[in-house]
A = this chain, B = another copy of it.
Amino acid sequence: MPTIHDIAKEAGLSIASVSRVLNELPVREETMKKVQAAVRKLEYVPNFFARGLSGAESRSIGVLITSMTNSYYMEITEAIERRLRERDFTLLLCSTDLDEALERRYLKEHMSRRVDGCIVIDPAIGNVRSGFFKGMAAQLPLVLVQPDPDIRDLHSVIVDQREGMREVMDYFIAQKHEDIAFVRGLSGYSYDIKEEVWRASLAGQGLEVRQDRIVGIPDGNVAEAIAETEAAVSKLLLVTPRPSAIFCCNDLMARGAMKAAAKAGIPVPQELSICGHDNSILAISGSLGLSSVDLKMRSQGRSAVDLLFQAMEGKDPEPRRILIAPQLVIRDSTGPRHI
C-alpha cells in the first residue's frame, strides 16, 4: 500500500506538501494538481491509524445499542447516522445483547479506537448505578439515550414515557372506559413506570385497580411475544364482565391481543379497544390500524447527536438533559366504550 512518501516521490514534493493538500490547507494550485494526480495514479488512501496517532480527531463516534433487529433502536440509530453524515463523521456500531459486561467491554473498545464521543442507547441499569458511565464520561464525551430518568449527572436524552402513558389513560377515560387491562413484559424499567401511571390514573378517577387486569408476558423473540400475548389475552377475555379496553406495552403484544379478540369473535373497537406502544410498522400493517404511542425515535437520534457535539466542544461541563414528549396516535383499534 502506498504511503505519503510514495506520493511525495511521485509528485516530486515533500511529504509536508502532500499532507497539506490532503488536509485542504493553502498550497499553490500546481502543487495541488501534482499531488492529486499522484494520489489517483497510486490509488492512495491515507492511513487512518497514522492520522489518529498524530493527534488529530478520529472523526468517528461510537454507538452502543442492545439489539440490531429491534426496529425501535435501529430507527434511532439511523437518525444518528444521518446526522453524523451531515458532519462527515463515521459511526461505529456495537450491539450488546443486553449484556452488562459486553456493554463495558465495547465502550472501552470504542475508547481504545479513540472515537470522539459515544452514544449509549438504553444503557444497562447496572452500569448506570455502579457509576461506570460516570467514570467513562470523565474521559470521553458521552450521551445516554433513555437511561433511568432519575440520572441527572450525565448528558442524556429522555423520553417521558410517563407522559405518553398518561395520554393513553386520559384518552381511554374520556372515552368512558372504566375497566382497562394492562399487558406488560415481566421485567423492565419502562414496564414498571407504565404500570405506575396505569395505577395512578385509575385511582385518580376512583376506579378499581384490579391485580387480575395485569397480564405479564415472558421475554422472548418477536414470534413468541405475539403468540404468548394471544394466549394470555384469550384467557383474560373469557371472564365476565371482561375489560372494555386493553393497553399493551408494545405493538407486538397489541397484535397478539388483536388476534385473541378476533379468535374470540369480539369486534374491535366496537366492544374492545386495544392500544399499543412504539408506533412501529406493526401499527399500520394490519387490516385494522393500531392506535399506538409514538416515541419520536428520529428526534431522539438527532437530539443525541446534537447534545454529543455540544459536549465534544466542551464549553458546557454540566450535564444537560433533553426531554422528548411522546405522542399518542389514534387509529382504528380504539374508540368509545360500547354501552
Chain A residues at the B interface, C-beta cutoff of 8 Å? 1, 43, 45-53, 58, 67-69, 71, 74-75, 77-78, 81, 90-95, 108-109, 111-114, 135, 139, 222-223, 226, 252, 255, 258-259, 262, 281-282, 284-287
Contact = CB atoms under 8 A, between A and B. Distances in A.
Contacts of A139: 1, 43
Contact of A287 (B113, B222, B259): B259
23 contacts: A45-B108, A47-B53, A47-B112, A47-B114, A48-B49, A48-B52, A48-B114, A50-B53, A68-B77, A68-B78, A68-B81, A69-B74, A69-B75, A81-B94, A90-B92, A91-B94, A92-B93, A93-B93, A222-B281, A226-B284, A259-B286, A282-B282, A286-B287
Interface centre among A49, A67, A111, A284 (most CB of B within 10 A): A49
Contact of A285 (B75, B94, B114, B286): B286
Nearest to A290: B285
B287 A112 contact: no
Total copies of this chain within the assembly = 2
Nearest to A59: B109
Nearest to A260: B287
A53 B45 contact: no
B111 A45 contact: yes
Instruction: Summarize A's interface: helix, strand, loop or mixed.
Output: helix
A252 B285 CA distance: 7
A258 B252 CA distance: 19
A270 to B, nearest CB: 16
Contacts of A45: 108, 111-112
Contacts of A95: 78, 81
Contacts of A75: 69
Interface centre among A48, A58, A95, A139 (most CB of B within 10 A): A48
B74 A112 contact: no
B74 A286 contact: no
A257 to B, nearest CB: 11
Contacts of A223: 281, 284
Given A48-B113, A81-B94, A81-B95, 17 more contacts: A43-B139, A45-B108, A45-B112, A48-B49, A48-B114, A49-B58, A49-B113, A49-B114, A67-B78, A68-B77, A90-B109, A222-B281, A226-B284, A281-B281, A282-B285, A285-B286, A287-B287
